[in-house]
């Protein structure tokens, strides 16, 4: 019997922000791969993110919680996965400060559950299998004014989110060393682009500027983040998935550092133009609010290894990417409306009313 697909890949968290871009890229670029999106559809998971490819013959959705061992084992039996690209996570630092245990459950126990499935179902033939763990630069902690995170920077997480991601990274490498599971890992900086849930800085500010609501800047807005267009991250995952060396981690970032306040001013300027408002109108909405506890000062990724070894580099300049992103949000009002009604309102109230 000939196999219908050359590879069957479980993508966890494929209904989220980055996962949906990864699935879109792989499903269209590799028609011979079968992409099985295993997602619990938490508040951050949205099947609408994949509306354009949901009818593709090489795409399947499975509602599954990665902490549910029976369900995960059932999927491994059903599909005999060749690879896992693991993106499912609780991903928001502010939520991790409100409820750390939810992060331990999904990010640590969920990851170990997936690794146990690989161990069980791949034990007779590890050759040709791959567990790809998508992680974050936040595991490295905070930089001062100078320097960059490299793959050798010691882990030093400060938030419950980054502590849970650091723990999951260690489990991935431990399963590689102990059980011989083929793994690759990447640690990426802050992503931006379409389909980003509007509790994170950029989509929250776009939504608030559009609705002339206050723009809550934590502390003095001096924290620095290194921003990468999400489609460039998906391209990096593609390259690392196909060419990354077994047992290695790769840093992903755009050498694109911005102070939060400067970024918010830039967004205000872009949106004043697009909305036909006099320049400076939106910036008047900026409101300084109480800082995030344990707020990391600066992230900056050195992506030299990925560039030199695998030839990846970012494709977009930041202002171009931001304009594209703003256009997407302005053109997709319904998408925003669906997710900002209901629970989002409660979250927003709890997060910002007391600040």
C-alpha closest to that of 220 among 150, 278, 153, 287: 287
Cα 102 to Cα 89: distance, rounded to the nearest angstrom = 10
Smallest gap from Cβ 273 to ligand NAD, in A, equals 26
The stretch near ligand DAU (CB under 6 A) out of 7-15, 88-96, 271-279, 332-340 is 88-96
Angle, vertex CA 49, rays to CA 69 and CA 138, nearest 5: 65
147 contacts 188 by C-beta, under 8 angstroms:
no
Least Å distance, CB 313 to ligand NAD, is: 18
User: Is residue 201 within the footprint of ligand DAU (CB under 6 A)?
Assistant: yes
Stretch that binds ligand DAU, among 64-72, 106-114, 210-218, 334-342 (CB under 6 A): 210-218
Compute how many residues bind ligand DAU; rule: CB under 6 A: 19
In the complex, the smallest distance separating the C-beta of residue 256 from ligand NAD, rounded to whole angstroms, is: 13
Query: Which one among 223, 251, 256, 282 touches ligand DAU, defined by CB under 6 A?
Result: 223
- The enclosing H or E element of 63 equals strand 59-63
Taking CB under 6 A as the binding criterion, the range among 56-64, 89-97, 242-250, 341-349 that sits at the site for ligand DAU is 89-97
Is 83 or 201 the residue whose CB approaches ligand DAU more closely? Answer: 201
CB neighbours (10 Å) of residue 293?
Answer: 10
> In terms of residues, how long is the chain?
355
Nearer Cβ to ligand DAU (16/244):
16
SS3 content of the chain, % helix, strand, coil (to 5): 45, 20, 35
CA-closest candidate to residue 86, choices 19, 158, 3: 19
Count of CA atoms in the C-beta half-sphere (13 A) of 295: 15
- Rg for the chain, CA atoms, rounded: 20
Q: Does 134 bind ligand NAD (CB under 6 A)?
A: yes
Report what 254 binds from ligand NAD, ligand DAU, none; CB cut-off 5-8 Å by kind: none
Interface with ligand DAU, residue 233, by CB under 6 A: no
Rounded Cα distance, 70 and 91, in Å: 24
Q: Which residue number is nearest to ligand NAD in terms of Cβ?
A: 16
Choosing from 12, 46, 91, 153, the residue that interacts with ligand DAU (CB under 6 A) is: 91
Distance of alpha carbon 241 from alpha carbon 232, whole angstroms: 14
Smallest distance, ligand DAU to C-beta of residue 31, A: 30
Closest-CA residue to 234 (of 195, 176, 270): 195
39 binds ligand NAD (CB under 6 A): yes
> What span, in angstroms and rounded, lies between the C-alpha atoms of 189 and 187?
7
The verdict on 16 binding ligand NAD (CB under 6 A) reads yes
Between 234 and 282, whose beta carbon lies closer to ligand NAD? 234
Beta-carbon neighbour count of residue 33 at 10 Å?
17
Instruction: List active site positions.
Output: 137-138, 161
Using CB under 6 A as the binding rule, the residues of this chain from 168 to 227 that contact ligand NAD are 188, 190-191, 197
Nearer to ligand NAD, 114 or 282 (CB): 114
CA angle 177, 178, 183 (to 5 degrees): 45
Minimal CA–CA distance to 71: which of 123, 129, 12?
12
277 binding ligand DAU? (CB under 6 A) = no
Please pick, from the candidates 292, 330, 332, 347, the single residue that binds ligand DAU as defined by CB under 6 A: 292
190: contact with ligand DAU by CB under 6 A: yes
Beta strands in 212-275, from DSSP E residues, in sequence order: 215-218, 224-229, 248-252, 257-259
Which residues would be at the binding site for ligand NAD (CB under 6 A)? 12-13, 15-19, 39-42, 44-45, 65-67, 87-91, 106, 110, 134, 136, 165, 188, 190-191, 197
Which residues would be at the binding site for ligand DAU (CB under 6 A)? 91-93, 136-138, 189-190, 200-201, 204, 216-218, 223, 225, 260, 292, 299
């Amino acid at each position: 019997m000939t196999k219908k697909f050359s590879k069957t890949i479980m993508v966890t968290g494929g209904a989220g922000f980055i996962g949906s871009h990864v699935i879109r890229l792989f499903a269209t670029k590799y028609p011979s791969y079968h992409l099985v999106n295993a997602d619990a559809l938490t508040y951050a998971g949205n099947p609408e993110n994949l509306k354009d490819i949901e009818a593709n013959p090489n795409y399947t959705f499975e509602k599954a919680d990665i902490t549910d061992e029976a369900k995960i084992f059932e999927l491994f039996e059903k599909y005999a996965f060749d690879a896992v690209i693991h993106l499912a996570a609780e991903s928001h630092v502010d939520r991790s400060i409100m409820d750390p245990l939810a992060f331990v459950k999904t990010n640590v126990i969920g990851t170990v559950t997936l690794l146990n499935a690989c161990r069980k179902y791949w034990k007779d033939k590890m050759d040709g299998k791959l567990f790809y763990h998508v992680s974050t630069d936040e595991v490295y902690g905070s930089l001062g004014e100078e320097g960059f995170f490299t793959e050798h920077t010691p882990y030093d997480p400060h938030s419950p989110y980054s502590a849970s991601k650091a723990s999951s990274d260690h489990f991935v490498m431990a399963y590689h060393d102990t059980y011989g599971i083929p793994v690759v890992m990447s640690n990426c900086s802050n992503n931006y682009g379409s389909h980003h849930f509007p509790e994170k800085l950029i989509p929250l500010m776009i939504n608030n500027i559009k609705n002339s609501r206050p723009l809550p800047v934590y502390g003095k807005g001096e924290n620095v983040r290194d921003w990468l267009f999400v489609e460039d991250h998906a391209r990096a995952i593609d390259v690392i998935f196909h060419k990354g060396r077994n047992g290695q981690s790769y840093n992903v970032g755009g050498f694109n550092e911005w102070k939060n306040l400067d970024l918010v001013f830039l967004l205000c300027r872009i949106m004043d133009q697009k909305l036909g408002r006099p320049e400076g109108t939106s910036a008047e909405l900026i409101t300084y609010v109480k800082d995030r506890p344990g707020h990391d000062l600066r992230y900056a990724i050195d992506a030299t290894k990925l560039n030199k070894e695998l030839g990846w580099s970012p494709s977009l300049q930041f202002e171009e990417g931001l304009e594209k992103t703003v256009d997407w949000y302005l053109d997709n009002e319904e998408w925003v409306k669906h997710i900002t009604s209901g629970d989002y309102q409660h979250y927003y109230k709890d997060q910002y009313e007391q600040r």
